Structure 1
Amino acid sequence: MCALYGIQSLPRLVLVSFLVSLAACSSAASHPAESHSTLPAYRNASLCVDERVDDLLSRMTLEEKAGQMFHTQIFTGPNGTFDPGDPSQNRASTIDRVTTKFMTHFNVAFSTASTKDTAEFVNRLQRLALGTRLGIPITLSTDPRHAFHDNVAAGFSAGDFSQWPENIGLAAIRDAKLVRKFGEIAREEYTAIGIRVSLHPQVDLTTEPRWARTNHGFGEDAQLTATLLDAYVRGFQGDTFGAHSVSTVTKHFPGGGPAANGEDSHFEYGQNSSYPGNNFEYHLIPFKAAIAAGTRQMMPYYSRPQGTQFDAVGWAFNKQIITQLLREELGFDGIVVTDWSIITGSGAGGEWVPARAWGVQELSESERALLVLNAGCDQFGGEERPDLIVDLVHRGLVSEERIDQSVRRLLREKFLLGLFENPFVDVQAAQQIIGNAYFRKLGDQAQRRAYTLLTNNNSILPLNHNTNTKFYIEGFNKTYMENRNLTLVDTPAQADYALLRLNAPYEPRNNTLIETFFHAGSLEYPEAEKQRQAGIYAAVPTIVDILLDRPAVVPEVAGSAAALLGSYGSSADAFLDVVFGVAKPEGKLPFDLPRSMQAVEDNMEDVPFDTRDPVFRFGFGLAYPDSCAGASGGACFS
């Protein structure tokens, strides 16, 4: 049946609204192709998407098809110019990637450029693509970029975008309507700058509390995750997928949460997923919900299974997982893009990282690529080696029909997103839309709502204070206090109250550059740090805010601090608003907080809520009194 092609208007969320034409799919009788004789069929917007895809595919060389199957990061050169490339990192120049390798899918890495500069770069890139033989537009994607965490391998801090808590904070709020609103806002900000694919949501269930990717997911409860990701996908894609949409890549199928010993599979020492509780099916629940919600793409993780009926190779190499389970059993017919650099490796910050080809390290690059294609994947993430695919076809190891199967999916997505009609962005509109006051206000409110009040001895919070109250602070800049005309002192002994903002405990690792971005290892503070904090708690009533990017083993903080708050990505102003009653904490824990590392080590990686006798259980969170009065003049709630 002929696929409908429709371009929907963007939701009116900001000052600028967009009207674009709706071109319905019509039969050749009602819209004869001869009336568009000057256009190739794939350029004719009055034709069905499937007709246009078939026409374009028929015109493509094998080399042009192979280029579509690679999706890697793109950088800007000096002053917004094209990246000249780096042969030492096996990175071709942007011009070569587009014009010689025929690549048209890129993950944007502009974390510091202004909106104006980025928009102008995007238009320059699209003009480069338009000048190629077939003029296939670029599809731009991004890792999460609306929160605080900055990790070159997993997500970017917000920059010019509105700033929200991490996904784990949205899970603490437990408001599906808010998650849908976030998705709509992120969609409008993305499309304004030309980003049409979100390399998220991450829906892995964090049943292993040490796993370093916890902050980008929705916690360890499968049903809560399923509910929130449904709203997330619909927010990004809209009610009807089309030119207003951002295509979602749900990851990491079939679940990266059961990480053996909590170690992440970006690293060889964390390559295994472990299922001692035989709980594999539990981790599929969010992915089934994502398929029901209409997610367009899926990304398998690096890890390889241990203790299951599946072959012990990385998920993207595994035909049992991609073809038999995802496609045949679960009925997913969308795009499957691999996680980054599983074939040839990659360069990061001048450092070469070998391929994350767990279970098939002994195979050649060509053999790995063949295994990925045979497994049923469509696109290679973090790679730029279309020559491998061309060679496999020439050697008769892969048919061109198999290549066409994947390229058809990838091209169809471009047509549905309206990129062939208008790949460019409005530079002025982008500056009005991205990070506008309304979007920032909603993000700021969510940061405050996500706060989880864990202890509140003698109802010390919200904090009463006056102009004579003295504060000792750690973990944030003193200007935030000075802007509120609050008095600071140098030591806890001089203070009436201490305010501490702490990171959750982790073990710093720096064997490689990328390791420095992952918080892994122990969930408890070293003994010296425990003693240092204990001295503060003994000297002065102390309010502690711990950034829970992972669960924390902090019973000593819960027992000694005057009040303990958990946060999931928030500004210093958000923290102070909660402390002084200008805002109230609404969050509920999205995971258990264990009592000891022994309990963590004894838990089964694939089973939720099985750490023995946690200090605080999933769903715990105190509230402020219905009415209160802070001497600060902050509004307590009635």
Structure 2
Amino acid sequence: MPAVWAGGWSDDPAIEARVERLLKQMTLEEKLGQLSQYSGNMQTGPDTGRRDYKEMVAAGEIGSFLNVTGEQANRYQKIAVERSRLQIPLIFGLDVIHGYRTTFPIPLALSSTWDTELVERAARIAAMEASADGVRWTFSPMVDIARDPRWGRISEGAGEDPYLGSAMARAYVRGYQGESLSDPTSLLACLKHYVGYGAAEGGRDYNTTEIPERLLRDVYLPPFQAGVEQGAATVMSAFNALNGVPASANPFTLGQILRKEWQFRGFVVSDWTAIAETVAHGTAIDGADAARRSIVAGVDMDMQSDLYRTALADEITAGKVPVSIVDEAVRRVVRVKFAMGLFEDPYARIAPEKMLTPDHRQSAREAAEKSFVLLKNDGILPLKRGARVALIGPLADSAGNMLGGWSAKGEEADVVTLRSVLAKELGADVTYAKGTEISGGADGGFAEAIEAARSADVVILALGEDAPTMTGEAASRTELDLPGNQEQLLEAVAAVGKPVVLLLFSGRPLVLTRAVERAAAVLEAWFPGVEAGPALVRTLYGDSNPSGKLTASFPRSVGQLPVYYNHLSTGRPLPGEFDPNSIGSASKYTSRYIDQANSPLFPFGFGLSYTTFSYGPVKLEALSYSAAELDMGKAEVKISAEVTNSGLRPGQEVVQLYISQRGTSVARPVRELKGFRRVALQPGETKAVEFALGRDELAFWNIDMQDVVEPGKLKVWIAGSSKDGIPAELTIE
């Protein structure tokens, strides 16, 4: 399917004519310069040691910078458009992952809102702020599917599900790129990491991935395809080897799928030194061989390896790389530059006043509130005003951690912490004690924390991970319990006997099996951004009703991993798999653990509210449908259910649609998300929620590796999580 390019830039005849005129004027050295990108300031990977950038820009040897912003970007741009022979402007990129100056919740948290309009708005705000500081390209969204929370970069994506991941990918692209790439506030989106990076073996970053083609196409590719179809201008090739082939030199994924099947006309940039790393992978002999393999496979721009500029000319002279391949890569890069309007308007209008505005803060607060997931509540929440509070924990007043692991230009001074808001609102009725460090082992602060708990009516305990060191890139963990001695702090404080509200700050699902038992309420707050404090206080006191739902399953132990809801059945499935008491109750010879339940502690789609919701039966418009008509897009399966706010407070429910197919040529997952709606309901109010299943939702890659709708039995659930609901069944003939 051709991509729906923002502004139609990929099919503009005027742009194509300009591309060809420029290409004819370029020397080989200038062409290779357009395909070379370097980091100007901060390092986000191994350093190449190159620093003579001004001379290189003047010689036309650089096409793009990353990690260059503000007036420095304009200074480099001035050299490019005034001193270089062909005056080709530069593109400046940066890891704008969840906001620029206004830091939003981390992407995993944003996905937990299940609110694509809000995610699009967050991306638009990031684009407006970044472009006001000279940045016109973000290395986001990360759309890797991640089923193993040991992998630190699960924090940067939308979790374990391809349907939700695809919806989020489209939202980010719309927000970043806006209506036209030529808009000076447009930010080029970059889909990463293509492809399979999220399936790193053992959850260890940069590790090998083995993904059968059917699984690749059904699970790991759909969010990338969704982003391409939405119009993403760039794609980033990944570090990992996929089925033995480095992703940054893979002709099947880059050439066959991305270019031929999806008709992608933007350009591909490697991840940081990923081209050079093909030597370490063992497929390339040396740097020249690495450059040859990557550009032939379809990587257009070399990020930081400095191999295209230094090695490809000799490979072309030796006849190992056709110059036509280089020409096509250059076309892709300069086509985007023309579409961005850089040749007419290359300089950024630096405007710090457009950053961190009150409206942007308001959106960040709303995003944080909607991202919080209430995992447990024994009735202690919302808190009653007037109660004395003990605020304890190393994350209660940690501004830096609220920013998460990729905060772009966010600053600690921008953050409003939980402690600062509670102190302002409660005054003498709140007592603060840090208790311990995030990862330290000393218990010297325990006594103060215990004393604070004894003098309070309720304890708010703020625990979790250290965002910069424990989450994101190069932050894999083998143990997912609360780090350091935080578990011991929780036990000591809980032993006082006062109700404990556990606030969790993390970039991944944690193992909370013991912690949950000691708390009266548990709220997963992720790393919520600059408005952390106001959002948390409003939620704790009921001014905001939690509505977030998990997009990654929380395991009972690391030994369960990977654990995800949309798994296949087995020939000997465990009856009552979602029942934690099923351990030991079934036949020995079923697919189960002998020491723990199969089910996660908290499943995909789960999240509580201060109110309750009830679901009516699933209603079907018909009991049978034609597979052929569904496959041709001539029919839809229409279904609905009534959802009622059965509690006493207004609330928003994320209504989820799941399916399961049987009788097909290959086994299908026990459940698959195929739709969702955020529904606002007043107490006692009922709304009918309708869904339609068409080809996009029902097709899969069958035994013959064809993307088709097959005959079979179809179960359908409309429920509040992946473990709930009573299905209705129909036939696809």
Q: What interval of TM-score do these two structures reach, taking the shorter chain for normalisation?
A: 0.7 to 0.9
- Give yes or no for contact 1:6–1:243 (8 Å, CA) kept in 2: no
Pairwise CA distance, 1:620: 0.7
- Give yes or no for contact 1:593–1:614 (8 Å, CA) kept in 2: yes
Aligned partner of 1:461 in structure 2 is: 381
How far apart, in 1, do the equivalents of 2:545 and 2:257 lie?
44
Residues 552 and 103 of structure 1, relative CA distance in 2, 3 Å threshold: same
Aligned partner of 1:398 in structure 2 is: 321
Aligned partner of 2:354 in structure 1 is: 433
- Give yes or no for contact 2:271–2:303 (8 Å, CA) kept in 1: yes
- Give yes or no for contact 2:63–2:90 (8 Å, CA) kept in 1: yes
Aligned partner of 1:309 in structure 2 is: none
**Number of aligned positions between the proteins:** 536
Calculate percent identity across the aligned residue pairs.
28
Match of 2:205 among 250, 259, 264: 264
Q: TM-score of the superposition, structure 1-length normalised?
A: 0.77
Aligned partner of 1:369 in structure 2 is: 291
CA deviation string 1:258-283 (max 9, x = no partner): 11111110xxxx2x113389622221
Pairwise CA distance, 1:483: 2.5
Pairwise CA distance, 1:73: 1.7
SS in 2 for 1:545: strand
> Bigger relative contact order, structure 1 or 2, given CA contacts below 8 A and separation 6+?
1
Aligned partner of 1:97 in structure 2 is: 56
CA deviation string 1:134-153 (max 9, x = no partner): 21111111112535xxxxxx
Pairwise CA distance, 1:183: 2.3
| Correspondence list, 1:214-233, <5 A | 214-233=154-173
Match of 2:241 among 301, 304, 319: 304
SS in 2 for 1:398: coil
How far apart, in 1, do the equivalents of 2:563 and 2:125 lie?
42
How far apart, in 2, do the equivalents of 1:88 and 1:231 lie?
33
Residues 341 and 507 of structure 1, relative CA distance in 2, 3 Å threshold: closer
Displacement over 4 Å in runs of 4+: 5-8, 467-471, 504-509, 514-517, 526-529, 601-611, 626-629
Aligned partner of 1:359 in structure 2 is: 281
Residues 479 and 412 of structure 1, relative CA distance in 2, 3 Å threshold: same
* Structure 1 residue 554 corresponds to structure 2 residue 497: no
How far apart, in 2, do the equivalents of 1:470 and 1:373 lie?
59
SS in 2 for 1:337: strand
How far apart, in 1, do the equivalents of 2:97 and 2:467 lie?
23
Residues 364 and 163 of structure 1, relative CA distance in 2, 3 Å threshold: same
How far apart, in 1, do the equivalents of 2:288 and 2:178 lie?
39
For structure 1, the 5+ residue unaligned runs are 9-21, 27-47, 77-82, 110-117, 148-157, 307-311, 345-354, 630-636
Residues 367 and 237 of structure 1, relative CA distance in 2, 3 Å threshold: same
Aligned partner of 1:188 in structure 2 is: 128
- Give yes or no for contact 2:391–2:461 (8 Å, CA) kept in 1: no
Aligned partner of 1:411 in structure 2 is: 334
How far apart, in 1, do the equivalents of 2:172 and 2:151 lie?
23
How far apart, in 2, do the equivalents of 1:88 and 1:455 lie?
46
How far apart, in 2, do the equivalents of 1:573 and 1:515 lie?
25
Pairwise CA distance, 1:501: 2.1
How far apart, in 2, do the equivalents of 1:519 and 1:133 lie?
46
SS in 1 for 2:524: strand
Residues 119 and 617 of structure 1, relative CA distance in 2, 3 Å threshold: same
SS in 1 for 2:281: coil
Aligned partner of 1:36 in structure 2 is: none
Pairwise CA distance, 1:417: 0.1
- Give yes or no for contact 1:277–1:607 (8 Å, CA) kept in 2: no
How far apart, in 2, do the equivalents of 1:413 and 1:602 lie?
40
RMSD: 3.4
SS in 1 for 2:221: helix
Match of 1:274 among 191, 206, 210: 210
How far apart, in 2, do the equivalents of 1:516 and 1:323 lie?
27
Pairwise CA distance, 1:325: 2.3
Q: TM-score of the superposition, structure 2-length normalised?
A: 0.67
Match of 1:531 among 474, 479, 488: 488
Aligned partner of 2:553 in structure 1 is: 592
SS in 2 for 1:247: coil
Pairwise CA distance, 1:292: 1.6
Higher strand share: 2
How far apart, in 2, do the equivalents of 1:471 and 1:433 lie?
35
Aligned partner of 1:198 in structure 2 is: 138
How far apart, in 1, do the equivalents of 2:47 and 2:272 lie?
18
Quick one: which amino acid aligns to residue 326 of structure 2?
Answer: I
Residues 58 and 277 of structure 1, relative CA distance in 2, 3 Å threshold: closer
Residues 170 and 519 of structure 1, relative CA distance in 2, 3 Å threshold: same
Match of 1:567 among 495, 514, 525: 525
- Give yes or no for contact 1:314–1:358 (8 Å, CA) kept in 2: no
Aligned partner of 1:39 in structure 2 is: none
Pairwise CA distance, 1:101: 5.8
How far apart, in 2, do the equivalents of 1:504 and 1:357 lie?
35
How far apart, in 1, do the equivalents of 2:364 and 2:523 lie?
19
Deviates more, 1:330-339 or 1:171-180: 330-339
